[in-house]
Structure 1
Amino acid sequence: MPKKSIEEWADEAVESTPYLASDEKSSAFRESTQLNQIDKNKIETHPTVKPWVHFVAGGIGGMAGAIVTCPFDLVKTRLQSDVYKNVYVSKAAQNTVTSNIKIVQIANQASIHFKETCGIIGNVYKQEGFRSLFKGLGPNLVGVIPARSINFFTYGTTKELYSKAFNNGQESPLIHLMAAATAGWATSTATNPIWMIKTRVQLDKAGKTRTYANSWDCLKSIVKNEGVTGLYKGLSASYLGSIEGILQWLLYEQMKLIIKNRSIEKFGHSNDGEKTTGERIKEWCQRSGSAGLAKFIASIVTYPHEVVRTRLRQSPVENGKVKYTGLLQSFKVIIKEEGLASMYSGLTPHLMRTVPNSIIMFGTWELVIRLLSQV
């Protein structure tokens, strides 16, 4: 019999270790090892998504949502502005229907706001033409595509970095909070000039009173008359508005976790390969719907910053004086002159735009990630 080397003896000793215990213990050890191996085969492995995939998928998702919901964005911007406040006077506050039930009152006012929003869209179509419904779509897309690309890219990348640096590679609400805050601040800083131009173009009246020929003309006018810093008006409100994005990401991640846990409880694993097409579509719809619900809650909580941001981006008044000069000053002036309710001007078209926008955007983002991850 040939002699065995020390390495061979060592290997055999290691392999025989489970059998050195009693029969009962060794049997339990072998069964545990087999079960662990089976579990490993069942658990889905989630490969790390490449940063460029987040970037591209976010841009495509943002573009799809922006195109579909652009008319509502136009109405929202006009209702937020004091330029159109006398043109679009809501009848919700003049509603004569009274009820002791708060829910009935809220539902009735919401119905009026919904009808008025559709009415404004109809009036814009009749008076200014179909193309006017998509005013600002050019700079909106120019803003949305990089904004969503930067947001999803920054969030996905920093979430992975923060989890490895501060939480042993595990995700948590705190990690989501940090990543969402970083993504919000980075996006606001990079894209504020684009949103500035979009707002000015949307507030520009049609006909002989029109100020800007196009987005490029608007850019040149702002830089000439207000300086480069004029492109960053409303940035403080945008930073405040990043709270909305932070809250949305936190809620969305928690809802996704609930959906995932339900799936594991139902199927005993998280492997999509063993689910039917209908089940995968159902879970995708649930995740997309979660993004819309998260946006709905976040928007209601943080909406006043939207009005302040729009006012800060308005062009100066005719005598050269700027009415809204800062974040806190704008809050005080608007509440003093127009009341607290004005801080929610345009909320209905905002929700009608952002909720389906988020559903489309996050749903498209997830689909594109799946497709590009296979490339």
Structure 2
Amino acid sequence: MSQPPWQWETATAGAVAGFATVAAMYPLDIVRTRFQANDGRVTKFTYKNTAHAIFTITRLEGLRGLYAGFSPAVLGSTVSWSLYFFFYGRAKQRYSKNREEKLSPTHHLAAAAEAGGLVSLCTNPIWLIKTRLQLQTPLHQSRPYSGVYDAFRTILREEGWTALYKGLGPGLLMVSHGAIQFTAYEELRKLVVDYKKRKGNPDSDSNLLNSFDYALLGGSSKIAAILLTYPFQVCILAIIQRPSSEGIPKYMNSWHVVKETARFEGLRGFYKGITPNLLKNVPASSITFIVYENVLKLLRRLRKND
């Protein structure tokens, strides 16, 4: 294994990758979030499918509707990926007693879980505000937040600071999503590198892979993570929705969400919105790893030339 890069390099590459990803795929995130907000009793957003949702949002709310909550999304994604790759790199360094020793899948799983937990604690308020801004429309919100700061101030005034950490419990369970994704990515990466070496490619490990390889690895690992952890996302969104005008939350806790979803919607309710989720996150993951790996290579070259 090549010498680990400076941690600022992984953080910088992660931040650039996070910004590029959210900027490219944001409208599909809006659609996915609104599909998840429907339940078996109340249908807030009557969209037939992903294409119809995009058309309807554009017609009723304008292009601005497809980018509701974009500012906290950019901030959240940039900060999250920066911190994630930073914590992940530090954890891998710690688990690797010998820098030439290849880490096992268990080590990758533990490093990714550790990074995910720390990122969740740091960024939960950002994602909560982003989601609430995505869900408010002229048709469904009598007192909409006017922006990020107004949402932050209103939440503190009406619900208290603890409301900023609603959904943190299932959010920490979602650590398994990143753990599965990064473990799958690392193990698939090893397979591709070994295959190319057997073909007689003399390049170093860091130069063996190209952007197509990163896209394939990122997309494949994301599919595995989504299919296994998607119900957690549905539970998180249900919990963090804004209370009614009377201040009454729709769900009391995560278990309440699980019971009500199973009762009114069945198993299918835990996978609502998965189509736009896959359409957004599989190519988004490919973009993330293409940008991350290439920016990291660039930073390494710049450091070596200094």
TM-score (normalizing by structure 2): 0.92
Q: Is residue 2:269 matched to residue 1:337?
A: no
Aligned to 2:137: 205
Aligned to 2:10: 54
Q: Is residue 2:217 matched to residue 1:217?
A: no
Q: Is the 8 A contact 1:263 1:270 kept in 2?
A: no
- What aligned pairs does 1:72-87 form with structure 2 within 5 A after superposition? 72-82=28-38, 86-87=43-44
Q: Is residue 2:182 matched to residue 1:249?
A: yes
User: Where in structure 2 are there 5+ consecutive unaligned residues?
Assistant: none
Shift of 1:126: 0.9
How far apart, CA to CA, are the structure 2 residues paired with 1:135 and 1:227?
Answer: 24
Which is greater in Rg? 1
How far apart, CA to CA, are the structure 2 residues paired with 1:345 and 1:326?
Answer: 20
Shift of 1:169: 4.3
Post-superposition CA distance 1:226-250 (Å, at most 9, x none):
1110000000111111111100011
How far apart, CA to CA, are the structure 2 residues paired with 1:318 and 1:356?
Answer: 38
How far apart, CA to CA, are the structure 2 residues paired with 1:260 and 1:169?
Answer: 16
Q: Is residue 2:26 matched to residue 1:70?
A: yes
Please, which of 60, 63, 83 is the counterpart of residue 130 of structure 1? Answer: 63
SS at match of 1:209: coil
How far apart, CA to CA, are the structure 2 residues paired with 1:258 and 1:272?
Answer: 12
Give aligned-pair identity as a percent.
33
Shift of 1:87: 4.5
Q: Is the 8 A contact 1:241 1:305 kept in 2?
A: yes
Q: Is the 8 A contact 2:193 2:205 kept in 1?
A: no
Q: Is residue 2:242 matched to residue 1:315?
A: yes
How far apart, CA to CA, are the structure 1 residues paired with 2:104 and 2:202?
Answer: 21
How many pairs does the alignment contain? 300
Shift of 1:297: 1.4
Is the alpha carbon distance of 1:133 and 1:90 closer, same or farther for their aligned partners in structure 2, counting shifts above 3 Å? closer
Q: Which amino acid aligns with 2:43?
A: N
Comparing 286-295 and 239-248, the one that deviates more? 286-295
Post-superposition CA distance 1:276-304 (Å, at most 9, x none):
xxxx6x74311321111110111011101
Aligned to 1:172: 104
TM-score (normalizing by structure 1): 0.76
Q: Which amino acid aligns with 1:314?
A: Q
Shift of 1:371: 0.7
How far apart, CA to CA, are the structure 1 residues paired with 2:205 and 2:232?
Answer: 41
Is the alpha carbon distance of 1:259 and 1:334 closer, same or farther for their aligned partners in structure 2, counting shifts above 3 Å? same
User: Where in structure 1 are there 5+ consecutive unaligned residues?
Assistant: 1-44, 92-115
How far apart, CA to CA, are the structure 2 residues paired with 1:85 and 1:321?
Answer: 16
Shift of 1:58: 0.3
SS at match of 1:142: helix
Q: Which amino acid aligns with 1:297?
A: A
Q: Is residue 2:182 matched to residue 1:263?
A: no
Q: Which amino acid aligns with 2:262?
A: I
How far apart, CA to CA, are the structure 2 residues paired with 1:365 and 1:74?
Answer: 24
Q: Is residue 2:286 matched to residue 1:359?
A: yes
How far apart, CA to CA, are the structure 1 residues paired with 2:203 and 2:185?
Answer: 19
Post-superposition CA distance 1:119-163 (Å, at most 9, x none):
100110111001211111100011011100011111111111112
Post-superposition CA distance 1:54-73 (Å, at most 9, x none):
00100100110101110000
Aligned to 1:191: 123
Q: Which amino acid aligns with 2:92?
A: K
